[in-house]
């Protein structure tokens, strides 16, 4: 019970490891991460026998920026008999809590393609075995613990579980979103994913609904604006580039060819600020602080582009800088940040002004 496994984007294992080690240390959980570059996962091993459990209970999954999903490891499966992997897994079934779902997972990316296809096939008989033994409910329940079997190859892996109230609700932490064929750019999926990761359904209904006003800094060709228009909002789109004509035809968008760093909002009652300008992250963080301090928006979603090196340090510094600027100005707020599935060399941040 001293280990947790964290999924991350392949190539970001070091950031994921540094982050869990820091956050664990804040809870006085000390240990070390095991990192294999480009594997898409990290194991954090605590020195105390119950450290995995302590982390799952006391550390909020939402605090983790670089982890897409996580679970507590209960057993390490080594050199499973490839003729009978079911028995190798079920040997440990008494360790598992009664669960509502089973996820057989692996890393993400081309290297894992055939292993992931095996994971999907293997899920069917393993689920059957777990249902017969009573570990798994007969029907899926999304409010119960989830069993994770993470395979590193066809004979080795980790078995454990996550809590439904403190983990990602998605298989491998990835929400599969459909690209809308009429959207002007693929980056539209990034904002769609951000809404769904950062806001509950109820919060989306309350905070991002029809009739609201929004500003999009660095808007062209309009993939992010598209998501706001789709939600019935009216958007000031700021960019020197060209906006997609289909968006302009909706009558919900006004385009201004000006510098996003100098622009001041035309309307005073903007609910949203979104920003996807490719700029230095500390500059973007300062700009976001300025909008909140001036009372120009209530909610913001923006990207922080990551540097080549020191990515975790930069993220921590920018988020601290933003939070402390808002605190000093007396702006009550909540900040969430995630390296989303649709993010590459950037993270996405959500800031909400508290009443």
Ligand X SMILES: C[S@@+](CC[C@H](N)C(=O)[O-])C[C@H]1O[C@@H](n2cnc3c(N)ncnc32)[C@H](O)[C@@H]1O
Would you count residue 125 as binding ligand X (CB under 6 A)?
no
Q: Are 345 and 305 in contact (CB under 8 A)?
A: yes
- Minimal CA–CA distance to 301: which of 201, 204, 211, 220? 204
Would you count residue 260 as binding ligand X (CB under 6 A)?
yes
Would you count residue 188 as binding ligand X (CB under 6 A)?
yes
Residue (219 or 314) nearer to ligand X, CB: 219
Task: Collect all residues with Cβ–Cβ distance below 8 Å to 190 and sequence separation of at least 6.
Answer: 223, 224, 276, 303, 340, 342, 343, 348
HSE at residue 211, side-chain half, CA atoms within 13 A, is: 2
Give how far the C-alpha of residue 139 lies from the chain's centroid of Cα atoms, to the nearest Å.
Answer: 27
Would you count residue 228 as binding ligand X (CB under 6 A)?
no
Q: Render 124-145 in DSSP notation, one character per residue.
A: HHHHHHHHHHTSB-SS--TTS-
Would you count residue 281 as binding ligand X (CB under 6 A)?
no
Residue (196 or 323) nearer to ligand X, CB: 196
Would you count residue 261 as binding ligand X (CB under 6 A)?
yes
Active site residue 254: no
Q: From CA 1, how far away is CA 290, in angstroms rounded?
A: 45
The one catalytic residue in 14, 305, 309, 338 is: 305
Would you count residue 276 as binding ligand X (CB under 6 A)?
yes
Tokens linked to 220: 């062209």
Tokens linked to 115: 């292993």
Q: How many residues bind ligand X (CB under 6 A)?
A: 21
Residue (173 or 223) nearer to ligand X, CB: 223
Nearest approach in angstroms of CB 112 to ligand X is 28
Residue ranges in contact with ligand X by CB under 6 A:
184-185, 187-188, 218-224, 238-241, 259-261, 276-278
Q: Which residues are catalytic?
A: 305
List the binding residues for S-adenosyl-L-methionine. Answer: 187, 220-223, 239, 259, 276
């Amino acid at each position: 019970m001293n280990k947790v496994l964290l999924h991350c984007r392949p190539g970001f294992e070091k950031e994921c490891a540094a982050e869990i080690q820091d956050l664990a240390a804040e809870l006085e959980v000390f240990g070390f991460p095991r990192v294999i570059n480009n594997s898409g996962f990290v194991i954090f091993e605590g020195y105390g026998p119950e450290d995995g459990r302590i982390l799952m209970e006391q550390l909020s999954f939402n605090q983790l920026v670089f982890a897409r999903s996580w679970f507590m490891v209960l057993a390490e499966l080594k050199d499973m008999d490839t003729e009978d992997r079911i028995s190798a897994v079920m040997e440990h079934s008494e360790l598992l809590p009664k669960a509502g779902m089973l996820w057989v997972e692996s890393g993400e990316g081309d290297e894992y393609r055939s292993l992931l296809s095996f994971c999907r096939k293997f899920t069917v008989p393993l689920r059957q075995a777990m249902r017969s033994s009573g570990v798994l409910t007969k029907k899926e329940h999304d409010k119960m613990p989830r069993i994770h079997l993470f395979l590193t190859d066809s004979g080795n892996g980790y078995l454990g579980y996550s809590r439904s109230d403190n983990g990602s609700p998605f298989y491998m932490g990835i929400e599969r979103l459909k690209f809308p064929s009429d959207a002007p750019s693929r980056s539209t999926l990034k904002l769609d994913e951000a809404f769904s990761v950062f806001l509950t359904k109820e919060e989306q209904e309350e905070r991002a609904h029809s009739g609201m006003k929004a500003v999009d800094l660095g808007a062209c060709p309009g993939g992010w604006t598209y998501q706001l228009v789709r939600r019935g909002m009216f958007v000031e789109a700021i960019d020197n580039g060209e906006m997609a004509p289909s968006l302009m035809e909706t009558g919900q968008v006004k385009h201004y060819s000006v510098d996003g760093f100098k622009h001041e909002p035309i309307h005073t009652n903007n609910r949203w600020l979104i920003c996807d300008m490719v700029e230095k992250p500390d500059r973007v963080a300062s700009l976001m602080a300025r909008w909140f301090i001036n009372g120009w928006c209530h909610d913001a979603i923006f990207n922080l582009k990551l540097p080549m090196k020191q990515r975790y340090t930069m993220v921590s510094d920018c988020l601290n800088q933003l939070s402390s600027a808002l605190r000093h100005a007396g702006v009550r707020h909540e900040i969430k940040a995630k390296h989303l599935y649709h993010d590459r060399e950037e993270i996405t941040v959500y800031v909400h002004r508290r009443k």
